[in-house]
């Protein structure tokens, strides 16, 4: 603020800086209309203090002499006296040099003179910001009554410099003056005559609450000429008083001291005094009375401007007599409506008075755009808890009547709305009502004590024992969205609460750290990081920006309206709830009641891992850190309601949040007007509940006021026909989780896409996401998430809506191959390959394929998996992992056995010769790890990766692997999609390939041998795939020869084991008789199983041939 003051001075007073002449700067800023040459006296006064270890205030110095006298004191205040050389007008600008003070301390010890700073609009300061330096301004005369260390002889002034002008327009009527006697002086006040041709039905009155050493009876000063109506007074009256004069005013008039007596039709006649009107006694046709006024210093109209009767009113006074005669009625045309309008932002001048409807002690509100409209002839009431600025500086309240053209008549003056300004901000108070409340010791009202009564603002339920407010109650209307912007935030007030405790110290960040460390028995610094907004702040219940008027906003700054809230949450989802709710109320044109409160106490683990409640005052266990903050919102017309809840603990996991902090059924996903980051833990995990659900848990509420007829704000969108859909290719983010659905019996199975590769779910249909290890992003720490389809790619999980791409794993789900304990034909055990979904239940297994494996011979007889119409739309570009042995092959390095160098060595040993002529790397003539269930037979990336077990592979010549066998795999997937069928696939190997040894004798080929020289991991003679349509039970077997070195004669003699019907299969895109690509053929299932028995024959019955 010192910088702001200096910059403002350099603008208003060109070139001012310290005590110097400013002529040169005037030339530099010649365009400045002020054009003045001030003397500036800038100095310091007093010594700042801070409390010592015993709480005793100690003065602050930077050094001490040998006698321990303080040197280089830290000033209490900085000041700048500025006096214009020409006009001798002056001003003093003062700033407090202690950011650790409370507002109470400042007001008690640091305000040296009457503050007039609010009348200086040219100053760009944040006047009452304690951190930037609470600042104020005084007249020079007031200031030097206290501060004497100045050249006083040079500081005489003729007025105050830089005060804002208040534009007033005198009515174009006959002016008259009233001269009154007073004991020590004579004051002459100009009073406008009562000539009025504008229709009106409002009163102009004023009130005050300021004490005076003099007595005044009555409290209303009579105008020079007053028209008293004989009509019946209105039921709503406006108090009218003035700031009492210093002399005694005696009156014999029987006259109410606080009411406006009537409101009648607009006058059509003119009342003109026949003489210069002195202070007079007015005789009314209703109740004659006379009064003697010794000292009127201003004119007050005691009526709300009524149409007089056609009669002559006589007035008698103790001084020269004057007669007021009403003229005959004048016929006028119908008046044209000319309302007065002003905006919340831009048209009011702070500190603005409190605005209420005429005669009603309730807030005057604008429309949702922030525009106030006062009809021509209507009035509003304005209140200051102190006095208004000139020309209304005798009054603490006024009634102002719109007379059109954006002008208001008040106390005989015509002014713009900006002419009504308080001398200081209206003072707000927090008052105990004497009543208790559920969960609290006191009902507390925050508001303004004005002359007309108490203007209530917020109702609180406060618990003195725990020093926490359970809830704050107030109302929101469409007007609240148009709150006044740029209002300076004052410091927080303790009021008559907290037993004298300095609450500001409790909120200090260093104190928070100490309190947490003490409570938890460990260094709590891990929980605090100001750069990430991880510290506790004053979290308002009734939010400052939920109120339109600047003073109403400032009145929220009581500690009883705040609870300890993590700042990241305060400026995160709690702020989002506040702003979204205001906008929703405006958009839907609602009037809602709000109960904003806190519930329970947040915890963190102590040094032993035990969850420990957190308090700002750990010693007394007071000022608890709220567990959740909430807003109960109920529409006053429909009685529908909703509770918006924000978790107040950024240090817990999502699991802990859902288990301990979600206390009612979350309906937040059905509310589309909330602009929150719902599941962001650092911003405050948020959710919404019905009022009924919420108050089943939270009892510290006036439940009799919270009855509802339904849930407020749910989306009107009909979702029953909505569908979630996503493309397997393009819409997933890898490493993607497993997408799991359940059968009616609860068995896990893969989600299936359609033939176009699109997955579709109906609204409300369940979908599980599994990572096996952990999710990243919003579900970090979770291994699986249950969800339901909402719409499109929106998924409802944990009460919040997420997009599909929010579900991402930290790594690909871990797959496993396990023994089932069931036998299979030709094998030692039937293995299951897939994903263990639950660590607590071995039955919760997502099976991808099963394997009949012979662990003795280390050979797989067959692998069974299922192909669907959508299988051909498998996820592309999934990286290939390395093959793994799992819990098989006796721990040997199978990968090494498959290397091309080792193959050559092994086969050379089998043949007793150099086997290099049988291998050609550039021609793909080598043994590869040949998939049985192909990688691309599985749709999703995780399942594809699970195909990389050695038990799902056999040594396959690469020319065949990348030749006809690949054509068979692709053709089967395409055929299944084209025919829209679901098939069981049994893919296996049969026999052992041979090559002639050095003596020309065919030798079986293996990759390894046991200690008895028995061959292990044989090179198969044939690969086959049995395909059976589940619905029709038609089947076919496709076979391929796994030996590019076999001749056609050998093939026909040794490798064709059933009648070939391959010529009848037009859908297989093979080069059927290409020996290098792998001679291939097809058979019926019956023919094939007559030879090959290592299969689940009981499952292979068929009713016909598939695909011919």
Q: Binding site membership for Mg(2+): which residues? A: 961
Count CB neighbours of 791 within 10 A. 16
The span from the CA of 1002 to the CA of 995, in Å, is 5
Peptide bond into 735 cis (omega under 30): yes
The span from the CA of 1054 to the CA of 1050, in Å, is 6
Three-state SS letters, 317-382? CCCCCEEEEECCCCCCCCCCCCCEEEECCCCCCCCCCEEEECCCCCCCCCCCCCEEEECCCCEEEE
The span from the CA of 577 to the CA of 565, in Å, is 15
Q: Residue 931 catalytic?
A: yes
As given in the structure block, the two tokens for residue 655 are 């699991």
What DSSP assignment string belongs to 547-562?
-SSHHHHHTT-BGGGE
Q: Where are the alpha helices (DSSP H) in 795-899?
A: 894-898
Tell me the residue length of the chain.
Answer: 1108
Count of alpha carbons within 13 Å of 51, Cβ hemisphere only? Answer: 10
Residue ranges with strand state E in 970-1100? 983-992, 994-996, 1002-1004, 1006-1009, 1015-1018, 1020-1029, 1034-1041, 1080-1083
> For tokens 């089943």, what's the residue?
696
Q: For residue 954, what is the enclosing H or E element?
A: strand 953-957
What b-and-e string marks burial along 901-933, b requiring 16 or more CB atoms within 10 Å of the CB? Answer: ebbbebbeebbebebeebbeeeebbbbbbbbbb
As given in the structure block, the two tokens for residue 329 are 């009625």
Q: φ and ψ at 750, to 5 degrees? A: -75, 145
Contacts (Cβ under 8 Å, ≥6 apart) of 1078? 957, 959, 960, 963, 964, 965, 1040, 1041, 1042, 1044
What DSSP assignment string belongs to 682-742?
TT--EEEE-HHHHHTT--SS-GGG---SEETT------TT-EEEEETTTS--SS--EEEEE
Which candidate, 151, 168, 798, 100, places its Cα nearest to that of 504? 100
Residue 925: DSSP 8-state: B
Contacts (Cβ under 8 Å, ≥6 apart) of 232? 262
As given in the structure block, the two tokens for residue 986 are 């049994």
SS3 at position 247: coil
What DSSP assignment string belongs to 372-425?
EEE-TT-EEEEE-SSPBPTTSTT-SEEEEEEEETTEEEETTEEE-GGG--BSSP
**Bind-site residues:** 961
Cβ 528 vs Cβ 604: under 8 Å? no
Three-state SS letters, 573-635? HHHHHHHHHHHHHHHCCCCEEEEEEEEEECEEECCCCCEEECEEECCCCEEECEEEEEEEEEE
> For tokens 């534009």, what's the residue?
167
Contacts (Cβ under 8 Å, ≥6 apart) of 22? 13, 14, 15, 16, 37, 38, 40
Cβ 143 vs Cβ 114: under 8 Å? no
Pairing mode, strands 38-47 and 75-84: antiparallel
3-state helix, strand, coil in the chain (%, to 5): 20, 30, 50
As given in the structure block, the two tokens for residue 13 are 């007073």
Q: Which residue out of 457, 595, 865, 931 is catalytically annotated?
A: 931
As given in the structure block, the two tokens for residue 94 are 């003062």
Q: φ and ψ at 978, to 5 degrees? A: -65, -35
Active-site residues, by number, are 931
């Amino acid at each position: 603020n010192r910088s702001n003051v200096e910059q403002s001075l350099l603008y208003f007073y060109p070139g001012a800086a310290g005590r110097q002449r400013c002529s040169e700067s005037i030339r530099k800023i010649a365009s400045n209309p002020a054009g003045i040459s001030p003397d500036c006296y800038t100095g310091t006064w007093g010594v700042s203090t801070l409390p010592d270890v015993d709480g005793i205030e100690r003065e602050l110095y930077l050094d001490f002499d040998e006698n321990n006298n303080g040197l280089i004191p830290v000033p209490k205040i900085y000041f700048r006296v500025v006096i214009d050389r020409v006009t001798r007008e002056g001003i003093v600008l003062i700033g407090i040099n202690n950011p650790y003070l409370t507002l109470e301390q400042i007001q008690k010890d640091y305000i040296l003179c009457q503050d007039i700073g609010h009348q200086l609009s040219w100053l760009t300061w944040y006047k009452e910001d304690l951190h930037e330096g609470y600042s104020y301004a005084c007249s020079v005369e007031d200031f030097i009554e206290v501060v004497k260390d100045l050249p006083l002889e040079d500081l005489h002034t003729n007025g105050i410099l830089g005060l804002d002008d208040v534009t007033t327009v005198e009515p174009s009527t006959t002016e008259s003056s009233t001269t009154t006697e007073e004991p020590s002086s004579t004051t002459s006040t100009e009073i406008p005559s009562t000539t009025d041709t504008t229709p009106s039905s409002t009163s102009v009155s004023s009130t005050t609450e300021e004490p005076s050493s003099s007595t005044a009876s009555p409290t209303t000063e009579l105008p020079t000429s007053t028209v008293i109506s004989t009509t019946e007074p209105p039921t709503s009256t406006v108090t009218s008083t003035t700031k009492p004069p210093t002399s005694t005013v005696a009156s014999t008039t029987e006259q109410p001291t606080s009411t406006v007596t009537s409101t009648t039709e607009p006058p059509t006649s003119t009342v003109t005094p026949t003489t210069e009107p002195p202070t007079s006694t007015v005789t009314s046709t209703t109740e004659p009375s006379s009064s003697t006024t010794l000292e009127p210093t201003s004119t007050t109209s005691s009526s709300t401007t009524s149409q007089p009767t056609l009669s002559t009113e006589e007035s008698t006074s103790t001084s020269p007599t004057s007669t007021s005669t009403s003229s005959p009625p004048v016929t006028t045309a119908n008046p044209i409506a000319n309302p007065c309008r002003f905006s919340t932002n831009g048209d009011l001048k702070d500190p603005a008075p409190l605005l209420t409807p005429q005669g009603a002690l309730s807030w005057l509100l604008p429309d949702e755009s922030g525009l106030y409209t006062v009809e021509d002839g209507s009035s509003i009431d304005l209140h200051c808890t102190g006095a208004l600025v000139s020309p209304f500086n005798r009054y603490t309240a006024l009634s102002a009547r719109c007379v059109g053209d954006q002008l208001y008549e008040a106390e005989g003056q015509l002014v713009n709305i900006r002419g009504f300004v308080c001398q200081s901000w209206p003072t707000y108070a927090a008052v105990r009502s004497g009543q208790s409340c559920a969960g609290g010791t006191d009902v507390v009202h925050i508001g303004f004590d004005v002359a007309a009564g108490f203007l209530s603002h917020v109702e609180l339920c406060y618990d003195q024992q725990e020093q926490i407010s359970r809830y704050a109650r107030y109302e929101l209307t469409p007007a609240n969205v148009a709150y006044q912007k740029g209002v300076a935030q004052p410091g927080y007030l303790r009021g008559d609460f907290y037993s004298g405790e300095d609450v500001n110290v409790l909120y200090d960040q260093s104190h928070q750290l100490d309190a947490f460390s003490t409570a938890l028995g460990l260094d709590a610094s891990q929980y605090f990081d100001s750069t990430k907004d991880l510290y506790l702040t004053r979290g308002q219940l009734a939010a400052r920006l939920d109120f339109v008027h600047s003073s109403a906003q400032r009145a929220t700054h009581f500690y009883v309206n705040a609870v300890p809230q993590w700042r990241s949450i305060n400026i995160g989802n709690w702020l989002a709830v506040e702003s979204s709710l205001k906008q929703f109320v405006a958009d839907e044109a609602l009037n809602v009641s709000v109960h904003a409160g806190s519930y329970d106490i947040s915890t963190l683990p102590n040094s032993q891992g035990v969850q420990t409640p957190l308090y700002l005052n750990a010693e007394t266990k007071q000022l608890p850190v709220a567990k959740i903050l909430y807003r109960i919102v109920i529409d006053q017309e429909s009685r529908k309601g909703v509770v918006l809840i924000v978790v107040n603990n950024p240090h817990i996991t999502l699991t802990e949040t859902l288990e301990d902090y979600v206390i009612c059924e979350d309906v937040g996903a059905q509310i589309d007007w909330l602009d929150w980051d719902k599941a962001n833990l650092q911003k405050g995990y948020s959710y919404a509940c019905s009022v009924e659900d919420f108050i089943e848990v939270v009892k510290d509420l006036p439940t009799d006021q919270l009855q509802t007829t339904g849930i407020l704000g749910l989306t009107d969108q009909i979702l029953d026909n909505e569908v979630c859909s996503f493309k397997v290719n393009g819409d997933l983010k890898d490493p993607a989780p497993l997408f799991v659905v359940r059968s009616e019996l609860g068995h896990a199975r893969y989600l299936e896409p359609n033939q176009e590769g699109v997955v579709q779910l109906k609204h409300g249909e369940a979908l599980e996401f599994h990572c096996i290890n952990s999710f990243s992003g919003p579900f970090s720490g979770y291994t699986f998430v249950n969800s339901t389809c909402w719409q499109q790619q929106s998924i409802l999980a944990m009460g919040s809506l997420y997009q599909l791409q929010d579900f991402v794993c930290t790594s690909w789900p871990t797959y496993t191959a396990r023994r089932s304990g069931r036998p299979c034909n030709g094998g030692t055990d039937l293995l299951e390959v897939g994903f263990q979904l639950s660590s607590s239940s071995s039955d919760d297994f997502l099976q991808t394929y099963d394997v009949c494996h012979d662990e003795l011979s280390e050979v797989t007889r067959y692998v069974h998996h299922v192909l669907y119409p959508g299988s051909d739309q498998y996820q592309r570009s999934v990286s290939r992992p390395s093959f793994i042995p799992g819990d098989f092959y006796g721990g040997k390095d199978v990968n090494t056995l498959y290397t091309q160098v080792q193959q050559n060595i092994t086969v050379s040993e089998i043949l007793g010769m150099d086997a290099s002529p049988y291998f050609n790397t550039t021609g793909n003539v080598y043994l590869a790890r040949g998939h049985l269930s192909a990688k691309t037979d599985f749709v999703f990336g995780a399942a594809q990766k699970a195909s990389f077990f050695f038990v799902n592979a056999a040594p396959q010549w690469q020319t065949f692997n990348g030749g006809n066998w690949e054509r068979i795999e692709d053709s089967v997937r395409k055929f299944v999609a084209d025919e829209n069928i679901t098939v069981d696939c049994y893919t296996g190997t049969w026999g052992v390939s041979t090559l002639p040894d050095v003596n020309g004798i065919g030798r079986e080929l293996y990759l390894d041998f046991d200690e008895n020289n028995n061959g292990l991991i044989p090179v198969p003679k044939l690969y086959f795939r049995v395909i059976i349509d589940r619905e029709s039970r038609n089947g076919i077997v496709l076979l391929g020869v796994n030996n590019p070195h076999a001749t056609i004669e050998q093939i026909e003699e040794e490798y064709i084991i059933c009648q070939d019907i391959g010529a009848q299969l037009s859908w297989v895109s093979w080069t059927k008789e290409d020996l290098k690509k792998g001679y291939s053929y097809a058979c019926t299932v019956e023919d094939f199983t007559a030879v090959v028995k290592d299969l689940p024959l009981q499952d292979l019955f068929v009713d016909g041939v598939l695909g011919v």
